[in-house]
Amino acid sequence: MKLPQLPQELTDFQPEIGLILGSGLGFFADDRIQVVGRLPYGEIEGFPVSTVPGHAGQFVYGTLEGKRVICMQGRFHFYEGYKMAELTLPIRLMHRMGVHTLFVTNAAGGIHPDYVPGDFMMLSDHINFLGTNPLIGWQGDEGVRFPDMTEVYNGALRTKIRAWAKDHQVDLKEGVYLATTGPSFETPAEIRAFAALGADAVGMSTVPEAIVARKFGMRVLGISCITNAAAGISKTELSHEEVSETADRVRPQFAELLAAGVQLA
């Protein structure tokens, strides 16, 4: 898939850190970044657009903790009907701009019995349950053809953030994220199966972006906001509104954690 042209102002900015802000978490770009510019996805020729509530649909770039960052204020999902090459196009663009570290955030359902809505989980690993891989049919010779996935989420960076969380009395969980296609939430039987596979949280994103980032040799750090208990664990029906409400409730804590991660990167 051919990469679209970006405005000269953005390419000249040369961001070093990329941030993907998941459902209900887009506020971070407005609250914490000293904004240099914004670029709506709709103004980029051939670029996907966000179709899900809580995803503003624009790049926001500027400085944070002395680092040049570019944020996706809203991401794309497989369930929106996009092909893998389309929903991972932003990672290819970030690589071309010079981004070397990618922070991927998401809203996730808690599977681990100790997780409650409002918790944060740093990703130690993931399980790809999407039924496909974004590197299938890859065109071009950029990056590694067969990337090693032994350590998708950078161990050294995780160690630094874990230490920061301990020093600041932040209850940061760490576990395995499992990605499904969505858009339907999982059944209780599926959640029991995922728990047996070793998953601590479940969501509908993140894994394709992380795979492509590793293809390019980027450092990757993933953080899930546990916005609900998964089916069969939750005492209520699951809804997208619950996801947004929980993300909004933990805004200050999420912002502090993500800003600290960028500073330590």
Question: Where in the sequence numbering do the catalytic residues fall?
Answer: 23, 55, 77, 79-80, 107, 204-205, 228, 240
Q: Which of these, 114, 27, 137, lies nearest to 71 by C-alpha position? A: 27
DSSP 8-class letter at 4: P
Query: Is the peptide bond between 208 and the residue preceding it cis, with omega within 30 degrees of 0?
Result: no
| CB count in 10 Å sphere of residue 141 | 6
Which class for 120: exposed (0-12), middle (13-18), buried (19 or more C-beta within 10 A)?
buried
Helices (H), the chain: 8-13, 27-32, 84-87, 89-97, 155-167, 188-197, 207-215, 240-249, 251-264
